[in-house]
């Protein structure tokens, strides 16, 4: 009774993954699964723009916020960026991706950012 080598390899991989799960050790993923993005919506969460996207997902930009407030939220998340970097990320999300809207109140010089509805 001959078995197909491919089936044997698949069975071994399944058993190794099951054993790793029982031992609490993360199993190595096949190359096809390793290329998948880690975020829930497939968006990049790296860098300042990614941190701002996380703030949007958490609902922290539901009401208008100024740049210093957004920088403080990012610092609370453990993401420390300069004001220029965060400002550029906000500008890209407001103009290119159109996820945010920005406006100025009368008499103020600084921009406020909120989720576009």
- Buried b / exposed e across 23-55, counting CB within 10 Å, b at 16+? eeeeeeeeeeeeeeeeeeeeeebeebbebbbbb
Domain locations in the chain? 5-34, 47-115
pLDDT for the residue numbered 5: 82
What is the pTM for the complete model shown? Answer: 0.61
CB 99 within 8 A of CB 47: no
Over 63-96, what HEC string results? Answer: CCEEHHHHHHHHHHCCCCCCHHHHHHHHHHHHHC
The one-digit pLDDT tens for each residue of the chain (117 residues) are: 567 888 888 888 888 888 888 887 765 555 444 444 444 455 677 889 999 999 999 999 999 999 999 999 999 989 999 999 999 999 999 999 899 999 998 888 899 999 988
CATH code for the part of the protein at 47-115:
1.10.10.10
């Amino acid at each position: 009774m001959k078995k197909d080598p491919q089936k044997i390899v698949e069975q071994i991989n399944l058993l190794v993954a099951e054993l790793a799960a029982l031992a609490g050790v993360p199993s190595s993923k096949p190359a096809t699964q390793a290329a998948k993005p880690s975020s829930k919506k497939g968006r990049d969460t790296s860098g300042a723009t990614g941190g701002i996207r996380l703030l949007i997902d958490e609902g922290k930009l539901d009401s208008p916020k100024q740049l210093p407030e957004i920088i403080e939220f990012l610092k609370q998340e453990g993401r420390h960026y300069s004001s220029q970097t965060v400002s550029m990320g906000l500008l890209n999300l407001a103009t290119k991706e159109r996820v945010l809207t920005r406006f100025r109140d009368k008499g103020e010089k600084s921009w406020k950012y909120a989720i576009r509805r």
